[in-house]
Structure 1
Amino acid sequence: MTRLVAASGTRVRVRETGPADGDPVVLLHGIGRSLEDWAPQHDALPAAYRVISMDLLGFGLSDPPPRRPVTLARLATGVGDVLDALGVRRPVHVFGNSLGGAVALAMQAAHPQRVRSVVLAAPAGFGRQVVLDLRLLAIPGLGGHLLRHTGPRTARRTERALFDDPSFVTEERVRHALRVAAQPARTEVFLDVLRELGTVRGIRPGWRSALLADVARDPRPTLVVWGDRDRILPVRHLSAARAALPHARSHVFADTGHLPQVERADGFAALAVRFLGSV
């Protein structure tokens, strides 16, 4: 079950499983996505963990934020505000997929005392290349038009791009994508974040280098995971991640797309649990 929590001047949708005194694990989704992208991990991770997934500020089914623009820094601060609202005082293991990976690193950089370890699943921030659809959305005028006219065909194509195995593109996923696309202020928040982080040419280098420099000053145990058939952020970004985070462990799942935590749910959980056990 999910619920809305008052945080950052709005209401943020969260899902929690596990005991309140369990070791906290926080799960963060990608741009335009929702906590459903982490749903399998609530079942796959051991029941002893307190697992918390959330819809980032203005994304998923969270309410619109009280002010704009929504930036990477605000998203990271919003995660901390949600943890405060939930009474989480202990340092957390933060998992981030795609944009959620960048948010996890931003949280580590700004509030290192709150982060115990980091697990990055196909994270943004390690290369310029990104799928053409996202680059087109950065074009003024065009991006807003496309986001405001998301229909079943577009939603299905987007879901298909996320997975190597087409069987994951279910009617339930498409219906949920359309529900998310219809949320108030969804387009504006999406474009705020997209235009801060990228252009039609790809992901901007400035914020990436600044963020990674901040992270390097106070590193945390880190695991980086990728799928070898990622159509959104190519697996070759992993080389840059290894160079920027020389202390990090890494793993590549075969025959896997942009959501390894879904497409390889059990393998991902097993890998993460081994990593957390060594922290």
Structure 2
Amino acid sequence: MSELPGIALDDWHARGLAMDFRGHTIRYWVAGAEDAEPLLLIHGFPTASWDWHYLWAPLAERYRVIACDMLGFGYSAKPRGHDYSLLEQADLQQALLAHLGEQRPLHVLAHDYGDSVAQEMIARHQDGRVKLASCVFLNGGLFPETHHPVRVQKLLLGPLGPLVGRLFSRRKLAQSFARIFGPRSQASDAELDALWQLVKYNNGPAVMHRLIRYMPERRQQRERWVTAMQATTVPMRVIDGAFDPISGAHMVARYRELIADADTVLLDDIGHYPQLEAPQQVLEHYLQFVEGTRSDDA
């Protein structure tokens, strides 16, 4: 049970705002003082920005926190037949910032699928197309060679992907999450109910086989993204649930091999969703990191 109170899904939904992105309605959330430093939260697959609900209020005390449900996720539009891509989701993040008039250097906190979007934003930072102040990654497939997808993800990528998506259910979500959460930090029934509501909203399972194409896209972009991460001066940290079979301790080991002076935190017995499983620890390690980057700048 989290020490942080969190936000009930209905309350979260009620706080959402809407914007248009290329003809599609995107739900987004903003909190905190307008003059506070901006912090962009980027969620993972197959869930949505509610993943951050435990951290939302504590972070909003210090930052102008910004998050959206990406195209195809949560309460945002889920167009059928759409060619979803990580590059387009990075375009969406930039469109959201433009919609809010936010032009200051940006802190980023990302998870899972969102890690790949954040990697693209680091590459764009290197190209001068966006300005980042820092980037923190939670469990995600930063390197395709260390990403171990669960069975349903593999099936979604295959020829039966559309059928697998349509047959996806709360029971299958619970089965998958039971394997990827830590042994003592399993999702409650109430959390699973909420996460399933977000997945199934607007018939989300019908587009899951299209969203999953991020996995080959990661392979296509790997060299560009890793090169940008190796070259950047943007402060980076990984906060990772070590128990995670998808992108746990084995991914962090690879990160330490590839990134000079790697700043990494491993959370023992925590799985793939540290912001839900151990939000207090994530908050403490996140704030410690950002405070450290400020003292380095002083």
Scaled by the length of structure 2, the TM-score of the pair is 0.83
User: Is the CA contact (8 Å cut-off) linking 1:128 and 1:204 kept in structure 2?
Assistant: no
**1:205-216 superposed matches below 5 A:** 205-216=219-230
Letter in 1 for 2:156: L
What is the CA distance between 1:168 and its match in structure 2?
4.4
Q: Distance in 1 between matches of 2:229 and 2:248?
A: 22
Kept after mapping to 1: 8 A contact 2:180/2:272: yes
1:125 counterpart = 2:139: no
Alignment CA distance shift 1:253-1:153 (3 Å): same
Match of 1:240 in 2: 254
Q: 1:266 to 1:74 in 2, by over 3 A?
A: same
Decide which of 154, 161, 172 is 1:135's aligned counterpart: 154
Give how far 1:258 is off. Answer: 0.6
Residue 88 of structure 2 is aligned to residue 74 of structure 1: yes
* Residue-pair matches, total: 274
1:40 corresponds to which residue? 54
Number of the residue aligned with 1:25: 39
Counterpart in the other structure of 2:179: 161
Q: CA deviation at 1:89?
A: 1.2
Partners of 2:22 and 2:35 in 1: how far apart?
24
- Cα deviation per residue 1:183-236 (whole Å; 9 max; x = unaligned)? 3473464333422424xxxx9644322321233343410001111211332320
For residues 78-109 of structure 1, the C-alpha deviation after alignment (integer angstroms, 9 at most, x for no partner) is 11111111221111111111111111111121
SS at match of 1:224: strand
What does residue 114 of structure 1 align with?
131
1:178 Cα deviation from its structure 2 partner: 2.9
SS of match in other structure, 1:100? helix
The answer to whether the 8 Å contact 2:136/2:286 transfers is: yes
* Aligned CA distance change for structure 1 residues 267 and 90 (closer, same or farther; 3 Å): same
Q: Distance in 2 between matches of 1:192 and 1:92?
A: 29
- Aligned residues of 2:116 and 2:218 also touching (Cα < 8 A): no
Counterpart CA distance in 2 for 1:66 and 1:181 is 15
1:6/1:85 contact within 8 Å kept: no
Determine the C-alpha separation between the residues in 1 that align with 2:164 and 2:77. Answer: 21
- Aligned equivalents of 1:193 and 1:244: distance in 2? 28
| Equivalent pair of 1:57/1:64 in contact (CA under 8 Å) | yes
* Residue correspondence of structure 1 range 1-279 to structure 2 within 5 A: 1-45=15-59, 47-64=61-78, 68-112=82-126, 113-126=130-143, 127-141=146-160, 143-165=161-183, 168-184=186-202, 186-187=204-205, 189-198=207-216, 205-279=219-293
Structure 2 unmatched runs, 5+ = 1-14, 294-298
Q: Share of identical aligned residues, percent?
A: 24
